[in-house]
A and B are shown apart, each in its own frame.
Chain A
Amino acid sequence: MRFKASIQNISTFTKLTASLNSLGPLAWVKLSDDQVCFTIIPEQGTQVWAVLSIDTIFETYTVQSAANNVINLEVPLTSLNRALKSATNATSAQIRLTKKDNMPLLALTIVTASSSNSYSAFPTTSSGIDGGFGATPSEEFGANNRETIITQEIPVRVLAPDTVAGLHEPQCREPDVHIILPPLLQLKSVSDRFTKLALVGAKSGPGTVTSRTRLEMAANMHGCLKMAMKTDSMNISSVWTDLSNPELDPSQVAGGEIGISEHPSTRMKELGTADGRSEEGWATVRIDARDWGKVMSVGRLGGRVIACFCDEHALILYVYLPSDNGEDESVLTYYVSSYSA
């Protein structure tokens, strides 16, 4: 079993681990010849299935194992994220799977050459009074190419193929509405504010905290997205209009052109209006606002996000990471399930 790669895009990798870590502490990482998969299946809340092309984060990548060159690992994301953060200013970073005292670990080797030493730029000078204590003022420090090697060892667990065989990506019916989301930071700050309002005096009112922070998300096929929250004392909502509903690609839909004409979203196009005032044509899901806040953490990666609404059932987010060649796109899929009304 061998895995070794140099990290080409430290910043993306760091942001990815930070986003995933907000949903769960452990990730199932599947390394294979052509892609890297990160999967978070928390006990409660949103699942993430991320499929990344190798060159999104790695280069000079080798993976070998007896099981078709696939390696499955369980990785603590907090440690991985912390380790990657120390590579922020690295000139190079390598990651490999190794063993120490019979314990498997991911070893991250980071080379930094920090020549930007602010203290050497302004050498401390003596205050003009000598003697007494014996220490001399710090000398001008050799600022040229100080090379430091940092090794971070992240404990991991190697998962047998049988262990992961039972893990499957959730299946979902064809969505009623698909829409490109507005900037996530906007969505996040609005939903965070709603949640804060809903939590006011949470104990004095009836119902549990979770029922109070239920966020209602809805979208139609005319570019509208609605976010609402209702409690006993308030009813608050925001509507976005002029968003875009991407066209379906016949080659990607079962049944081709016929499939599209029978697709739920085609029927939804008949209903509703572009100003978002109509009562019709909305596909609605009810989700936990706190969980939504964790999902929004993915915004830091800056990808394009398409939300697929299955009315009263589930919300699926596809986060497409920007890639250089435009071919092997990397996608993070978030499965957010809907509460019943």
Chain B
Amino acid sequence: MVVLNFSLTPETAARVHDVLVCLGKFSDTVAFEARKERLTLTALNSSKSAYASFTLDATRCFESYEFNTSQSGSDGRFTFRMYSKALLSVFKGRLYDPLGRDGAIDRCEVSIQDRPDETHCRFIVKMICNQGVVKTYKLTYESVEVMHALFDANAAKNRWRINSGVLREYIEYFGTKTEMLDIFAGEDGRAVFKSYTEKITNGKEILKHPLVTAVAVNTSDFAEFDVQPGLHIIISVKDFKAIVTHADTLKSDLRANYSVPTRPLKFWYGNEHGILGEFTLMTSGDYQGGATPTPIPQQMPSRAASRAHSASVDNRSFRSDRSEMPPPSEPASRLSARRRATAARRQASPKPVESNPDSLFVNDEEEDAQWEPVDYNEEEETLGWDASTENANTVFPTFRDSGTLSRTETEDENVEAVAPTQRVSQVQGLW
């Protein structure tokens, strides 16, 4: 039997939302590992080339945190995983709103139902809202062993640290469909972030080639920059964007540690709010055969043999006897072998950078948007009226601010109705 109860302030619940959004960019599922002193959320992508983890400190993150396990051989851990989409539908955006508008909560309480006398394992979230409304969500979880990536910090001599807001500016320059990011430490006091695509095209297709963007930054703009000059290291630009975007929500410095191409790279940041983000990514570095050679001795990871392992639920006795949370790693050979597959997969799902929905400022592009041709297929919430005669309940003509009515705009709708001519967003001053 496992007892796991914790409660979150609205601010922290909103941060959990941000964390889930970030993890969702790596994998469909989020793995949890509960311990006495911390709760860790992790995601490993399908090609196992990127590992993301967020550690929530038990004393600093939670209003209250209680964890007990009586399971034998569980070495004081409880692990399970859930769909990130399911969690995101509970931990929505705007949980924290000082004005207490729609969606805002007063407190969030989470508990685990894992008792022999209950049929189902449930992850229960109670959102305590204003006016005493309590929303209870019961989600299913799967009790599994969690796989962590190992990272050998001793070998990672190259390191830098930079304000995440600055990096956030840089990633916005990158083209939308690029795949790779080359981080290059120049010999002239500059570091270059270059986003590109490795695809070779010819003929007319050349023009479809995505932008190649290089951002050259003075190393003095970094809070710390200690990288062997001439070193190129290549990661996925999509992962980088996900990490930077989230780091920026915490407004903390992003730190990178790495050794040589083909060895894992680690990004980490946070901790100001008791949330520590750590990411271990596979790297490559043979791009254009540039100054990739590596005088750094290839130190074998001190824990090379200790591959993090995965065991199924049925196999609980096989659980690791690690007392420490293991430093992450994947054997490098395996990582590089999977590179191709990863690249192909990434190409399929380029994610545009989302702008901050909570921003008070009018987006620069918004003004421009009114000049864009209208896409008549989009379904936006519109102000309309119900013109259907079949509806016997509607004795009186009523105005409805209805999202469903906008369906009549789609071409495959058979009901003849007059479409609303005005968007709700355009209506001003009526309410």
Contacts and interface: CB of A to CB of B under 8 A. Distances in A.
Interface of A: 15, 18-19, 22, 26, 74-76, 79, 82-83, 86, 88, 103, 114, 117-120, 124, 126-127, 129, 132-135, 137-139, 141-142, 146-157, 185, 188, 192-193, 195-197, 199-204, 209, 233, 290, 293-294, 296-297, 299-300
Interface residues of B, number: 62
B416 interface: yes
Contact of B273 (A127, A146, A188, A196): A127
Interface in B356-387: 364, 368, 370-374, 376
* A contact patch SS: mixed
A5 to B, nearest CB: 19
A126 B253 CA distance: 13
Contacts of B213: 83, 86, 150-153
A233 B414 CA distance: 15
B286 interface: no
B417 A201 contact: yes
A150 B272 contact: no
A118 B409 contact: no
Contacts of A203: 411-414
A200 B371 contact: no
Contacts of A114: 169
Interface of B: 55, 57, 60, 163, 165-166, 169-170, 172-173, 175-176, 190, 204, 206-218, 220-221, 223, 251-253, 255, 268-274, 276, 364, 368, 370-374, 376, 408-409, 411-419, 421
B408 A201 contact: yes
A134 B271 contact: yes
B225 to A, nearest CB: 13
A148 B253 contact: no
Contacts of A135: 252-253, 255, 268-272, 276
Nearest to A192: B374
A79 B271 CA distance: 38
28 contacts: A19-B371, A82-B176, A82-B211, A119-B251, A129-B274, A133-B274, A135-B252, A135-B255, A137-B272, A138-B251, A139-B223, A142-B221, A148-B215, A148-B216, A148-B221, A150-B216, A151-B216, A153-B214, A185-B371, A196-B374, A196-B409, A200-B409, A200-B416, A201-B417, A203-B412, A204-B416, A209-B411, A293-B373
Given A117-B165, A149-B216, A151-B216, A199 B271 contact: no
Nearest to B210: A79
Contacts of A134: 271
Contact of A201 (B176, B210, B416): B416
Contacts of A74: 207
A185 B372 CA distance: 11
B394 to A, nearest CB: 19
A138 B421 contact: no
